[in-house]
């Protein structure tokens, strides 16, 4: 069922060292001077190539194309394309979910609107998964430690709060900051028996996707699909994963000789 994403490789990068506009990058990321031209919803955009760990030794540096759906025009364009991908998957028993990141919610909301328009399924809805840094969840919940199930590099947990039960998972994404996400009991019941379509911007590793799958495994859903704007580097989508483009990941230093290879 997976469609092969369009490959956007290092050979497509353009040298634009003076294009030092506001990219919305985290303070620790460094723009390399290269951009990747991409097209969404018939519009052209430039994704900056940034080094996410510029202070690391040269051979340990990782550079990626920064796809930030908080940029309104880009997020809406991606959302419209994703909505068209989602529409054929939608039936009367489908619900969309999107991760806690603020980068994805605008894009996912546009994808929902487009999927409704194309499919005609006006009962289609979107759940934004709640989440945050694992180190901070103790401020929100009283964790029931006797109910925590340990899983390699993950924990499935149940917690109590003023607003009722929560069921969640801890995981470590590519940013290496330990995170948690969770459903309320009401959301868990709403997802039961549903076809669930998870919508996100970029799939870099299996960490977030595996966390979704673990979290959904306790919701007794009917089936799951994943739809992302891009996959990164050598990431290989499973058969239930649709993606539009593949963007490069460069390990080591970035210079014209590396790009020219």
Who has greater pLDDT, 138 or 35?
Answer: 35
- Residue 146: band (very low, low, confident or very high) from pLDDT cuts 50, 70, 90: very low
Mean pLDDT of all residues in 236-240:
92
Q: Is 69 part of a structural domain of the chain?
A: yes
Q: Is 249 part of a structural domain of the chain?
A: yes
Best CA proximity match to 63, nearest among 36, 101, 37:
36
Q: Is 1 part of a structural domain of the chain?
A: no
CB 36 within 8 A of CB 57: no
- Residue 157: band (very low, low, confident or very high) from pLDDT cuts 50, 70, 90: confident
- 75: domain CATH number? 3.40.50.2020
Q: Is 206 part of a structural domain of the chain?
A: yes
What's the rounded Cα separation, in Å, for the pair 46 and 67? Answer: 9
Range of the domain at 45: 6-260
Instruction: Encode pLDDT of 74-109 as tens digits.
Output: 999 999 999 999 999 999 999 999 998 888 999 999
Q: Is 191 part of a structural domain of the chain?
A: yes
């Amino acid at each position: 069922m997976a469609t092969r994403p369009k490959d956007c490789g290092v050979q497509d990068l353009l040298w634009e060292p003076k294009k030092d506009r506001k990219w919305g990058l985290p303070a620790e990321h460094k723009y390399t001077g290269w951009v990747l031209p991409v097209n969404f919803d018939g519009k052209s955009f430039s994704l900056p190539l940034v080094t996410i760990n510029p202070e690391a030794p040269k051979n340990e540096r990782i550079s990626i194309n920064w796809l930030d759906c908080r940029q309104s025009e880009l997020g809406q364009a991606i959302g419209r394309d994703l909505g068209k991908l989602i529409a054929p998957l939608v039936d009367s028993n489908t619900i969309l979910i999107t991760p806690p990141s603020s980068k994805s919610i605008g894009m996912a909301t546009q994808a929902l609107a487009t999927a409704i328009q194309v499919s005609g399924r006006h009962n289609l809805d979107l759940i934004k998964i709640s989440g945050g840094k694992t180190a901070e969840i103790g401020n929100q919940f009283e964790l029931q430690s006797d109910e925590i199930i340990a899983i390699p590099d993950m924990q499935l947990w149940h917690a109590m709060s003023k607003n009722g039960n929560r069921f969640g998972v801890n995981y470590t994404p590519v940013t290496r900051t330990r995170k948690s996400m969770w459903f309320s009991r009401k959301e868990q019941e709403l997802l039961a028996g549903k076809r669930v379509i998870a919508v996100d911007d970029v799939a870099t590793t299996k960490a977030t996707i595996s966390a979704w799958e673990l979290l959904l495994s306790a919701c007794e859903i009917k089936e799951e699909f994943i739809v992302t704007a891009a996959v990164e580097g050598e990431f290989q989508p499973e058969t239930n994963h649709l993606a539009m483009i593949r963007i490069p990941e460069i390990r080591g230093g970035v210079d014209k000789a590396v790009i020219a290879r």
